[in-house]
């Protein structure tokens, strides 16, 4: 028996990175997956998003683990598309036990427009609400909801640095709202014993971090910084002095939060940040 044997989990942002890692970790522990991803770019976001081929690869790898998967292209900003994807997945897989709202963008350092702010908010916050809303009608008592926040939503003066433009402000704004939403939703759903938790990663070794916009963010002193240049600056984010955590490190926490091992864990802001938060904020946190 796996730790999430025969549970069905919907995961957004499942085509690559952390979302794919969650799909594979959960499948390896016995879950079937509804894998959702936009599979196209968003203009204000300064690095490419996943492709259909990336999503197909997630499907291939989940099936290789012997589990079923329903994959759908949908934009988390579009509640109707998301509802259709979840409904179709549940019709095929027979049930829904958990939600992992992982899809996200970080449109920092790009165009200085209100659109960049709004795109960050509508993907990174509204997208989480839409995902939960699409799933809730299917969720039984005792289900699990996990939303991806960010270290940047808990610590000021990270992406909300004005030098990073409206997209950075929008990113921090959205992630703070994710933390608050999880807190409040945990209260609302407690009578049904539905657990609602946020995972807040530090730098994570995915395409989002490994992008020119991030290299420029971490090395504003250089004209065209490379990954190697950024590697010397990444460790400032953590207390352990490491440059980033791996997607599989986040997936381990997601697995715990989806499994029955966390049946009494709710409303938590789970930081997987190698000590980055406590390094900056030794006082008790607001959440």
What number of other Cβ atoms are within 10 A of residue 166's Cβ?
A: 23
Q: Closer CB to ligand NAD, residue 38 or residue 223?
A: 38
Question: Which residue in this structure is represented by tokens 């165009």?
Answer: 111
Closest CB 36 distance from ligand NAD, rounded Å: 6
Copy the structure tokens of residue 129: 């609400």
Question: Which residue in this structure is represented by tokens 């070794």?
Answer: 205
Copy the structure tokens of residue 49: 């998003």
Closest CB 17 distance from ligand NAD, rounded Å: 2
Q: Closer CB to ligand NAD, residue 5 or residue 120?
A: 120
Question: Which residue in this structure is represented by tokens 């292209």?
Answer: 73
Closest CB 186 distance from ligand NAD, rounded Å: 19
Closest CB 170 distance from ligand NAD, rounded Å: 11
Q: Which of 47, 171, 244, 277 is catalytic?
A: 171
Copy the structure tokens of residue 47: 């690095």
Closest CB 5 distance from ligand NAD, rounded Å: 26
Copy the structure tokens of residue 7: 């549970």
Q: Closer CB to ligand NAD, residue 10 or residue 103?
A: 103
Which residues in this chain contact ligand NAD in the complex, by CB under 6 A? 12-13, 15-19, 37-38, 49-50, 75-77, 102-106, 123-124, 127, 148, 150-151, 201, 203-204, 206-209
Q: Is 277 a catalytic residue?
A: no
Q: Closer CB to ligand NAD, residue 17 or residue 110?
A: 17
Q: Are 81 and 46 in contact (CB under 8 A)?
A: no
Q: Closer CB to ligand NAD, residue 6 or residue 248?
A: 248
Instruction: Give the C-alpha separation, 145 to 10, whole Å.
Output: 10
Closest CB 216 distance from ligand NAD, rounded Å: 15
| CB proximity list for 276: less than 8 A, separation 6 or greater | 151, 155, 202, 237, 238, 239
Q: Are 135 and 99 in contact (CB under 8 A)?
A: yes
Burial of 22 (0-12, 13-18, 19+ CB in 10 A): buried
Instruction: Give the C-alpha separation, 207 to 211, whole Å.
Output: 6
Q: Closer CB to ligand NAD, residue 6 or residue 229?
A: 229
Question: Which residue in this structure is represented by tokens 């196209």?
Answer: 40
Beta bridge pairs of residue 37: 73
- Which residue of the chain is nearest ligand NAD when measured via CB? 104
Q: Are 213 and 120 in contact (CB under 8 A)?
A: no
Q: Are 72 and 88 in contact (CB under 8 A)?
A: yes
Active-site positions?
171
């Amino acid at each position: 028996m796996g730790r999430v044997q025969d549970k069905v989990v919907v995961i957004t942002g499942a085509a690559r990175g952390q979302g794919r890692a969650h799909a594979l970790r959960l499948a390896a522990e016995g879950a079937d997956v509804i894998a959702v991803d936009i599979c196209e770019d968003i203009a204000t976001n300064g690095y490419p998003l996943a492709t259909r081929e990336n999503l197909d690869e997630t499907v291939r790898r989940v099936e290789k683990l012997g589990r079923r998967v329903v994959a759908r292209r949908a934009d988390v900003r579009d509640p109707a598309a998301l509802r259709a994807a979840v409904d179709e997945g549940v019709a095929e897989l027979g049930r829904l036990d958990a939600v992992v709202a992982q899809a996200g963008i970080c449109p920092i350092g790009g165009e200085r427009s209100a659109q960049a702010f709004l795109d960050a908010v509508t993907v990174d916050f509204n997208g989480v609400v839409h995902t939960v809303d699409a799933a809730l009608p299917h969720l039984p008592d005792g289900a699990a909801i996990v939303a991806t926040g960010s270290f940047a939503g808990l610590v000021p003066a990270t992406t909300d640095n004005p030098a990073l433009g409206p997209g950075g402000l929008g990113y921090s704004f959205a992630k703070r709202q994710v933390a608050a939403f999880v807190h409040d939703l945990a209260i609302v759903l407690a009578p049904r014993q539905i657990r609602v938790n946020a995972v807040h990663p530090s730098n994570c070794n995915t395409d989002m971090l490994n992008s020119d916009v991030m290299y420029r963010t971490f090395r504003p002193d250089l004209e065209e910084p490379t990954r190697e240049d950024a590697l010397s600056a990444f460790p400032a984010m953590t207390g352990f002095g490491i440059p980033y955590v791996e997607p599989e490190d986040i997936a381990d926490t997601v697995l715990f939060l989806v499994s029955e091992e966390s049946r009494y864990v709710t409303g938590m802001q789970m930081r997987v940040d190698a000590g980055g938060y406590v390094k900056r904020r030794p006082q008790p946190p607001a959440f």
